[in-house]
Amino acid sequence: MASSLTRNSASTAGPEKTFLGHPRGLANLFMTEMWERYSFYGMRALLVLYLSASVAKGGLGFDTATAVAIYSVYNAMVYLLALPGGWFGDRVWGARKTVAISGTIIMIGHFLLALPMEISFFIGLAFIAAGSGLLKANISTMVGHLYRDKNDPRRDGGFTIFYMGINLGAFAAPLSIGLVGQKVNWHLGFAMAGVGMALGLAFFLLGFRNLAPESSQVPAPLSDTERAGLIKKVLVWLAVAAVAYGFVGFSGKLSIDWVLWPLTILGLVLPAWYLIRIKRDSDLEPVERSRMSAYVWFFVAAAVFWGIYDQTGSTLSLFAEHNTDLSLLGWDFPASYFQSLNPLYVMALAPVFAWLWVALARRGKEPSTLVKFTQGLVLVGASFFVMMLAQAASAGGVKVTPLWLAAVYLIQTVGELTLSPVGLSLTTKLAPQKYASQMMGVWFLAVTAGDSVIALLQLVGAPTDTTWWFASQGALAVIAGVAIFMYRRKVQPLMGGVH
């Protein structure tokens, strides 16, 4: 593929092989990310459905609450581990080695899911979460390394092409992996995800020569003393966990809750602790402290947004399976197909929004960051009000039209395009200089916090198949959006000149 799309470009060093006018390494990173996302979203499209399917139907037979909690905790851990993932790339292995190792870990994890054993399934989930966290922060960094000049006019276009790879993988995965997993065999579907990651890893390893030299360097390597101290701490915590879980296991009381509760609490406590730690750092300038105070508002709002948005693969997937008429023009399709709607909408609407913001800016009418956040929250809240109506329409075992979910995913995607890119940009603008690199990981912690709240609600027994579930969260999102808008005159001054 790369060779057919390359051309020669004059440079002082001689002809340069390019990919669509970009450094040729972009082709390898594009294919790596596309196949990694294919494996990630393909498995995720099956996860809740497999967990909640009866043993007679080949599933694990968990009740709905436990299945949603496992999904939410898994998703929370993926984004939580993106923070140490970036740290590993910066201080231990370098971005290139970290991506190679993480891709291998992910591939092994998917193949563990393909084994028909419950213990291997959960070990596989842990592998995928750890590998995804390691890969997520570092592969994007490697795209940046391809453009040695930070002002290279191709840079934004390169990230746009890379972003399209993410959505292509996410779009194709449920259509193929979902179909095989639901209609043929769950474990064969999980194996397909493993093959997808293997293909991504192959493209990455074969393209080493096309990557920037900086990608193999460790920017701030650990000293021998730091490394020894870190290993000691890890071993101590592993020993504590082994003793604790060994004791519970021998007592005969070990269950999935002993894993879900600690991870859920960690997903709530760690983001709060990290924000407080940064905000109280004595090295920060007064304006940086003020900006962090403003950032807390956006962080909480983003956590509310992602907590609702990420239910596309859990509560909405279960609604599709149990309450939706899965036929169209006489063709029966699996519930997992709905998971392809979001990336499809993103690919269709992202260019429209990019054009819209530029057009409004030229006229001096582009909404402020605060207003965009408000719009994103109100939209995701509105999507759950639509779900409330869909849930009510399905009362008494009625199978509702697929158009309900198609509309919900469309509303959520518009909200995502309003809030998510703005949140990423805002994070870089409000980040204290000392934490410039780490703050992107902090943004991902908002996803962790939101998903952990959903897991907590499931662990305490909140029902997901009621109008109350959708109505209460929809109201919370709208209230959060309105609160940001109403208090914009209080938040704006805290942003220290950032708009």
pTM for the whole structure: 0.90
Q: Is 255 left (phi over 0), alpha (psi -120 to 50) or beta?
A: beta
Contacts of 140 (CB under 8 A, 6+ apart): 159, 162
Mark out the alpha helices in 92-185 (DSSP H runs).
95-113, 118-145, 155-173, 179-183
pLDDT for position 11: 41
Q: 321-343 burial string, b = 16+ CB within 10 Å, else e? A: bebbebeeeeeebbbbbbbbbbb
**Nearest by Cα to 344 from 3, 2, 41, 74:** 41
pLDDT digits (tens, 9 = 90+) for 38-96: 999 999 999 999 999 999 999 999 999 999 999 999 999 999 998 888 888 888 888 89
CATH homologous superfamily of 18-221: MFS general substrate transporter like domains (1.20.1250.20)
Extract the tokens encoding 331. Answer: 């063709």
pLDDT for position 223: 87
CB atoms within 10 A of CB 166: 20
Query: DSSP for 452-481?
Result: HHHHHHHHTT--SSSHHHHHHHHHHHHHHH
CATH architecture of 264-499: Up-down Bundle (1.20)
Q: Which residues of the chain have pLDDT under 50?
A: 1-14
Asked if 197 and 103 count as a contact pair (C-beta separation under 8 A), the reply is yes
pLDDT for position 12: 44
Alpha-carbon span 265 to 261, nearest angstrom: 6
Residue intervals in the chain for CATH 1.20.1250.20: 18-221, 264-499
- 152 burial level (CB within 10 Å; 0-12, 13-18, 19+): middle
Place of tokens 């002809």: 15
Alpha-carbon span 137 to 81, nearest angstrom: 9
Alpha-carbon span 301 to 177, nearest angstrom: 33
